Amino acid sequence: MVTRFCTPRHAKAARFGGPAFALILLCFSLAASGQTKSSGQSPKAKAAPQKTAAAPAKAPTAVIHTTAGDMKCEMFPDKAPKTVANFIGLAKGTKDWKDPATGKTIHGKPLYDGVIFHRVIPEFMVQTGDPSGTGSGDVGFEFQDELLPDLLFDQPGRLAMANRGLNTNSSQFFVTEKELPSLNPCFDPNGCMGGRRQPNSGYTIFGQCDADSVELVKKIARMPCQGGPCNGNNSRPQSPVKITHIDIQGAGKGAPAKPATKKPAAKASTQPKSAPPN
């Protein structure tokens, strides 16, 4: 048996050659790997441009120009669509109405232009919308209430329809000075307020007026009435504030109100019937 021993020179060569060779192999492997990866990659597809979501449509706003200043009220077409459509139609003159003085049908003329605030009560509300200026004018149509349990008189500046009973909305409306829980709708099948309020009765809220409008309501309500200071029993202004025009902003063309039912022959005052707070 022959045993070979490495001389120091051979051993040195072996120690140098092993790692160097491994390093060379590693370099070739990395280069090959990179080349394979590069050749295997496909060009990235261009990302499709993202579509910008359309901004939600703004709620229509009524700017009620009066001889005492302006009221600005955002309307609720999602909560009271018939009422908002009726109001816009009358304000723009796109809805026909009957002149209480002549009985003639009026076409193409805004109903609210020149109409006075005929009923004003401090700590309660101011009311307008009757072309006769009396609160009992017949404009030739009525439509149903739109009452919701989550839309209440829980803050100042509510824009709401006046009526003389169930489903008798027409053209008259009012703006509140403060929160008025006594005007909230009655959904109790037995009635509310000790039977003084019918089931499913109330006043349709169709908008919210801003803080400056509430200040104007307070100012109008505190002007002199014919028999002295205005209150629940004396609410006819001595020199009534008048609507000059109502501008509707952000409503497009505005949907015409649906055909309404004719009023019965009996007349009654159209107003919020709850007594004002003392």
Quote the pTM value. 0.74
| pLDDT tier at 44, thresholds 50, 70, 90 | low
Q: For residue 251, what pLDDT band results from cuts at 50, 70 and 90?
A: confident
Q: Which residues contact 186 (CB under 8 A, 6 or more apart)?
A: 192, 193, 197, 198, 199, 200, 201, 202
Residues 6+ apart with CB under 8 A from 72: 61, 62, 63, 64, 209, 210, 212, 213
At 145-182, the pLDDT tens digits run 999 999 999 999 999 999 999 999 999 999 999 999 99
What's the pLDDT tens digit per position in 48-105?
656 666 666 789 999 999 999 999 999 999 999 999 999 999 999 999 999 999 999 9
Q: What is the DSSP letter of 130?
A: -
Domains delineated in the chain:
61-249 (2.40.100.10)
Quote the CA–CA distance of 129 and 137 in Å, as a whole number. Answer: 9
Cβ(235)–Cβ(120) below 8 Å: yes
Q: What sign results for the dihedral spanned by CA atoms 152, 157, 158, 162? A: positive
Percent of the chain with pLDDT over 70: 70
Taking the C-alpha atoms of residue 136 and residue 141, their distance in angstroms, rounded to an integer, is 13
CB atoms within 10 A of CB 43: 5
CA distances (Å), origin 65, targets 62, 116, 246: 9, 12, 6
Residue 117 has what DSSP assignment? E
Q: What is the pLDDT of residue 227?
A: 87
Phi and psi based region of residue 167 (left: phi greater than 0; alpha: psi -120 to 50; beta: remaining): left
- To which H or E segment does residue 73 belong? strand 69-75
Q: For 246-271, b where at least 16 C-beta lie within 10 A, e where not — what string?
A: bebeebeebbebeebeebeeeeeebb
